[in-house]
C-alpha cells in the first residue's frame, strides 16, 4: 500500500511551468482533489499535505530542497513515519516518454534523473514506485538541463495536465494495493 506520494520539482515561481516540475503539478492537483492544503514542514525540508484516498490516509510531499537534493526530504519523511521504499510513489518528469504519456513502474535505475538519483542514495534502495510523466527529449544540440528547466510549451503543458488527470484516476487503485490494475490501465498503448 502506498503511504507517501512525492512530487519532484523545484521550488519558486520561476520553475512553476517548467518540464522538470511535472511532479509538483501532479501533486497540486491531488491536493486540490482531496480538498487538502499544504503546510511547510521544516523537519522534512518540504511542504506536506495529508489526503484521504480510497479511505486511506496518504501523505503528499513536495520537497523544497531543489531537485538534486530531493532524497534529503523523502528520506526524512520515510524515516519519521517508518515508511518502507515500496510504500512510496515518486511522480517525476521522464525524458524517455513522449509528452502526454504517463507510465507507472516499480524500481529501476535513475536514468540520469538527479532527483531519483538522490532519493535512491538517501533511501539506500531503488525499489519504490515511479509515476513517470513524459516530457520528450530536447532537439539535437540542446542541453538536457536547459530543456527540463525551461517552460513547457502551451501544448506540452496541456499534455502534462492531461496525463496528470489520467494518473489521478488511478491513484485510488494505487493506494488500495491494486497496483497491477493501475499499471495495466496506465501502461497500455
Query: pLDDT value at position 140?
Result: 87
Query: pLDDT value at position 121?
Result: 97
Q: Is the pLDDT at 37 greater than 90, yes or no? A: yes
Phi and psi torsions of 104, nearest 5°: -120, 135
Query: pLDDT value at position 189?
Result: 60
120 CB neighbour count, 10 Å cutoff: 21
Query: pLDDT value at position 112?
Result: 86
92 is catalytic: no
* Contact indicator for 164, 29 with CB cutoff of 8 Å: yes
Greatest C-alpha distance within the chain: 48
CATH number of 4-187: 3.40.50.1470
Query: What does the pLDDT average to over 89-104?
Result: 96
Q: Is the pLDDT at 86 greater than 90, yes or no? A: yes
Beta strand spans in 39-186 (E): 39-41, 46-53, 56-63, 88-94, 102-106, 129-134
pLDDT in tens, 117-168: 999 999 999 999 999 999 999 988 889 999 999 999 999 999 999 999 999 9
**Catalytic, out of 20, 45, 92, 113:** 20
Amino acid at each position: 500500500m502506498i503511504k507517501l506520494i512525492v512530487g519532484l520539482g523545484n521550488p519558486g515561481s520561476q520553475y512553476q511551468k517548467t518540464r522538470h516540475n511535472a511532479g509538483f503539478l501532479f501533486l497540486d492537483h491531488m491536493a486540490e482533489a482531496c480538498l487538502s492544503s499544504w503546510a511547510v514542514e521544516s523537519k522534512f525540508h518540504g511542504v506536506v499535505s495529508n489526503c484521504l484516498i480510497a479511505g486511506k490516509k496518504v501523505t503528499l510531499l513536495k520537497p523544497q530542497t531543489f531537485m538534486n537534493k530531493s532524497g534529503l526530504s523523502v528520506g526524512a519523511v520515510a524515516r519519521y513515519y517508518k515508511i518502507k521504499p515500496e510504500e512510496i510513489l515518486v511522480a517525476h518528469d521522464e525524458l524517455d516518454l513522449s509528452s502526454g504519456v504517463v507510465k507507472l513502474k516499480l524500481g529501476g535505475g535513475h536514468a540520469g534523473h538527479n532527483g531519483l538519483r538522490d532519493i535512491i542514495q538517501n533511501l539506500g534502495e531503488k525499489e519504490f514506485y515511479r509515476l513517470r510523466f513524459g516530457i520528450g527529449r530536447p532537439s539535437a544540440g540542446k542541453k538536457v538541463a536547459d530543456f527540463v528547466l525551461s517552460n513547457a510549451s502551451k501544448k506540452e503543458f496541456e499534455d502534462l495536465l492531461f496525463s496528470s488527470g489520467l494518473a489521478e484516476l488511478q491513484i485510488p487503485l494505487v493506494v488500495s494495493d491494486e497496483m497491477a490494475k493501475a499499471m495495466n490501465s496506465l501502461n497500455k498503448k
